[in-house]
Amino acid sequence: MAGDPGLDVRRCEYNLAVMKPEGNGAATLDTVFAALADPTRRAILARLARGDATVNELARPFAISQPAISKHLKVLERAGLVSRGRRAQSRPCRLRAKPMAQAVDWLEKYRRFWQGNFKRLDALLEELKAAETKPGSRRRQGREK
């Protein structure tokens, strides 16, 4: 019913639940994927996977300024993918893997979904191949003409 106020309330509650999921897991996941969307940030993470590095060390292979690298690092820090420590005068950056593991867990659900779809598609193709090679099948007769 279009005039049912309860329906409008339920629709609003649903929209809020979708747009602002409870807990910080979904927000963290969004932030992680946003951080991973940039190739420079992915390269920074790849470098940090080999060990801690200072901002200057991270900036060295890129044709961008140190302030630009610092901005990328802030995005990675907000996503929880990088932390900065203190060692004398330097602040080395360190890779933090937990948020990435959460992203992998989320992606794993969809990998299983697609894997199941591909298995069903393979079975269908095998079934079609078997039907095609049977004597007297329409496809086989059509080719022989």
Could you tell me the end-to-end alpha-carbon distance of the chain, in angstroms, rounded to an integer?
60
Q: Is the predicted pLDDT of residue 138 greater than 80, yes or no?
A: no
Is there a contact between 54 and 90 (Cβ–Cβ < 8 Å)? yes
Q: Which residues pair with 94 in a beta bridge?
A: 83
Could you please report the per-residue DSSP string of 77-98?
Answer: HHTTSEEE--BTTB--EEE--H
Tally of residues, the chain? 145
Q: What is the pLDDT of residues 107-136, one digit of tens each?
A: 898 888 888 889 999 999 999 998 888 776
Is there a contact between 85 and 96 (Cβ–Cβ < 8 Å)? no
Q: What is the pLDDT of residues 29-73, one digit of tens each?
A: 899 999 999 999 999 999 999 999 999 999 999 988 889 999 999
pTM: 0.62
16-30, 87-101, 107-121: which has the minimum mean pLDDT?
Answer: 16-30
Is there a contact between 96 and 81 (Cβ–Cβ < 8 Å)? yes
Our measurement of the distance from residue 111's CA atom to the centroid of its chain's CA atoms, rounded to an integer in Å, reads: 11
What is the CB neighbour count within 10 angstroms for residue 89?
A: 6
Query: Which pair of tokens denotes residue 78?
Result: 């907000």
